């Protein structure tokens, strides 16, 4: 390796004049002209040497070796433009194209998140899990990109180690004329996700900025969530719009599922009687049958929501939703959710947020709600509240704690759940 190349690569990394680590190579003695620079490059992880422990500084490098060194230097923050200009002849001779390496490094990005969760529930017991997610983003061209999510969940209470890694999301984003296109498999969280938060396979298109309108046609993907009324393969359609009216953020949506679970449960059958005072049907008798008594129908739901900044760092949201009919006659066909937020944890260490939610959601007016409380999907839906806070503990480490108190719309079951989640991002 040329003397000027070694020195310039060390300078490109911003290293100091004296070696900050012992030289690991047997054939580069302390008095050698390249001792300091080679030691710095080795300590920075840019050069490795060979299996016999030698640096072999006089040996001619292959194209692959030079490309590897430049790529490592890039990863350590080296100014590749200066390297390319200073050693254009050497790089051209070796056939290395730094621009291609840069472009390739930028085209694919990987980000990760690890979540440790502790949960206590009155009805379902405790849970300790570790979830790992790796996001892969590939830039196809200026207008299109690809995103994938690999996920592994390890049940820490189970002695059997889980080795399942799933490709939970794989989708394309791009533009066709004035339309924004989203296609593949993703987790659809329409507006606030109080009606629909589910993995789907399909396509969603949107148009406009000040007034954004969108439509989706998809099928439910594998049952990634248990508290949902959709089975894998069920068709789901969404039409909606979002805009701002004065100080309010406003949205409205229409949902249609072609074969949603609307009432009943395994081994249970309800009979109803009409309550003349209340003007609705109520449960008269519950029988255990030993059979699956779930009822499926085409299900249509509408919602409208408002968001308002009440003061600095204080935001109020309200959503009203209704089904087109009383699929489950034991409960009403409309519901609502209200939420109040103060601040929110961000990148700054010590930042925090507090929130509270109140909800009344019969099963007639949701498909798969977003929160972690017990939604009593087999008992007519739920009502209750949630309070929680989040706090940034350290750089890229956040704590999120939530308490849910919900009760079934049919019957007398109640559940209290508390979640403590710690997120590590990288």
* Lowest-confidence region among 87-101, 172-186, 199-213, 327-341: 87-101
Note whether residue 136 is domain-resident: yes
Q: Are 300 and 182 in a shared domain?
A: yes
Residue 156: inside a domain: yes
256 in the same domain as 164: yes
Query: Which of 60, 77, 96 is the C-terminal boundary of a domain?
Result: 96
Is the per-residue pLDDT at 239 higher than 70? Answer: yes
Residue 41 falls inside a structural domain: yes
Cβ–Cβ < 8 Å for 400, 425? no
Strand partners, 134: 112, 150
Q: What is the mean pLDDT of residues 230-256?
A: 94
Percent of the chain with pLDDT over 70: 67
Which has the closest alpha carbon to 345: 356, 335, 332, 354?
354
Assess whether 86 and 121 both reside in one domain.
Answer: no
Residue 402 counted as domain residue = yes
Q: Which residue has the higher pLDDT, 389 or 273?
A: 389
| Residues in CB range of 205: below 8 A, 6 or more apart | 179, 180, 181, 182, 214, 215, 216
pLDDT band at 95 (very low <50, low <70, confident <90, very high): low
Task: Tell me, yes or no, whether 335 and 228 share the same domain.
Answer: yes
Shared domain for 54 and 112, answered yes or no, is: no
How far apart (Å, rounded) are the C-alpha atoms in residues 57 and 65? 13
42/175 same-domain check: no
Residue 59 lies in a domain: yes
Task: Please report the pLDDT score of residue 253 as a whole number.
Answer: 98
pLDDT of residue 18: 44
Does residue 101 sit within a domain? no
Assess whether 92 and 119 both reside in one domain.
no
Please compute the mean of the pLDDT values over residues 385-396 and round it to a whole number: 97
The tally of CA atoms less than 13 A away on the side-chain side of residue 135 is: 13
**pLDDT tens digit string along 162-195?**
678 889 999 999 999 999 999 999 999 999 999 9
Q: Which pLDDT tens digit goes with each residue over 245-272?
A: 999 999 999 999 998 888 766 555 556 5
User: What's the total number of domains in the chain?
Assistant: 2
**Mean pLDDT on 298-317:** 96
pLDDT reported for residue 270: 56
Task: Note whether 164 and 231 are same-domain residues.
Answer: yes
Higher pLDDT, 268 or 418: 418
361 with 320, same domain? Answer: yes
In a domain, 224, yes or no: yes
CATH of the domain at 286: 2.40.160.10
pLDDT greater than 90 at residue 282: no
Q: Which residues pair with 421 in a beta bridge?
A: 117, 400
As a whole number of Å, the end-to-end CA separation of the chain is 35
Residue 20's pLDDT band, with cuts at 50, 70 and 90, is very low
Are 87 and 216 members of one domain? Answer: no
Give a yes or no: residue 102 inside a domain: no
Render pLDDT for 312-344 as a digit per residue (tens, 0 to 9): 999 999 999 999 988 888 899 999 999 999 999
Handedness of CA 47, 49, 54, 59 (dihedral sign): negative
- In this structure, the answer to whether residues 20 and 141 fall within a common structural domain is no
Q: What is the pLDDT of residue 379?
A: 87
For residue 54, give its domain range: 3-96
Residues 290 and 193 placed together within one structural domain of the fold = yes
Predicted pLDDT at 245: 93
- What integer pLDDT is reported at residue 91 of this predicted model? 57
Domain boundary among 96, 131, 157: 96
Residue that wins the pLDDT comparison between 159 and 360: 360
């Amino acid at each position: 390796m040329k003397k000027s190349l070694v020195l310039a690569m060390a300078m490109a990394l911003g290293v100091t004049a004296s070696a900050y680590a012992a030289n690991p190579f047997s054939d580069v003695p302390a008095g050698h002209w390249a001792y300091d620079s080679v030691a710095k490059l080795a300590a920075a992880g840019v050069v490795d040497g060979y299996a016999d422990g030698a640096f072999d500084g006089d040996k001619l490098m292959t194209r692959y070796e030079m490309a590897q060194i430049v790529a490592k230097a890039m990863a350590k923050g080296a100014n590749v433009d200066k390297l390319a200009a200073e050693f254009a002849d050497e790089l051209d001779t070796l056939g290395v194209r730094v621009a291609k390496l840069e472009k390739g490094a930028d085209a694919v990005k990987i980000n990760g998140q690890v979540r440790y969760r502790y949960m206590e529930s009155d009805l379902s017991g405790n849970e300790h899990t570790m979830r790992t997610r790796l996001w892969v983003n590939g830039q196809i061209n200026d207008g299109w990109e690809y995103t994938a999510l690999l996920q592994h969940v390890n049940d820490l209470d189970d002695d059997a180690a889980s080795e399942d890694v799933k490709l939970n999301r794989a989708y394309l984003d791009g533009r066709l004329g004035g339309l924004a296109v989203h296609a593949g498999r993703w987790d659809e969280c329409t507006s606030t996700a109080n009606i629909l938060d589910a993995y789907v396979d399909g396509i969603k298109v949107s148009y406009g900025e000040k007034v954004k309108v969108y439509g989706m046609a998809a099928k439910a993907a594998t049952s990634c969530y248990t508290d949902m009324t959709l089975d894998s393969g069920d068709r789901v359609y969404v039409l909606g719009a979002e805009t701002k009216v004065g100080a309010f953020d406003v949205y409205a949506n229409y949902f249609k599922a072609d074969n949603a679970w609307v009432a009943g449960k395994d081994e249970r059958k309800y009979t109803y009687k009409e309550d003349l005072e209340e003007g609705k049907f109520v449960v008269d008798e519950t029988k255990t049958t030993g059979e699956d008594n779930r009822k499926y129908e085409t299900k249509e739901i509408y919602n409208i929501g408002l968001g308002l900044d009440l003061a600095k760092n204080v935001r109020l949201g309200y959503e009203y939703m209704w089904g087109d009919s009383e699929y489950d006659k034991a409960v009403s066909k409309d519901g609502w959710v209200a939420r109040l937020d103060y601040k929110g944890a961000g990148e700054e260490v010590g930042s925090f947020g507090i929130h509270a939610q109140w909800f009344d959601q019969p099963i007639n007016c949701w498909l798969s709600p977003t929160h972690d409380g017990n939604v009593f999907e087999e008992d007519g839906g739920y009502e209750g509240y949630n309070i929680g806070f989040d706090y940034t503990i350290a750089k890229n480490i956040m704590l999120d704690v939530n308490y849910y108190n919900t009760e079934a719309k049919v019957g007398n079951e109640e559940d209290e759940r508390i979640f403590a989640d710690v997120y590590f991002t990288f």
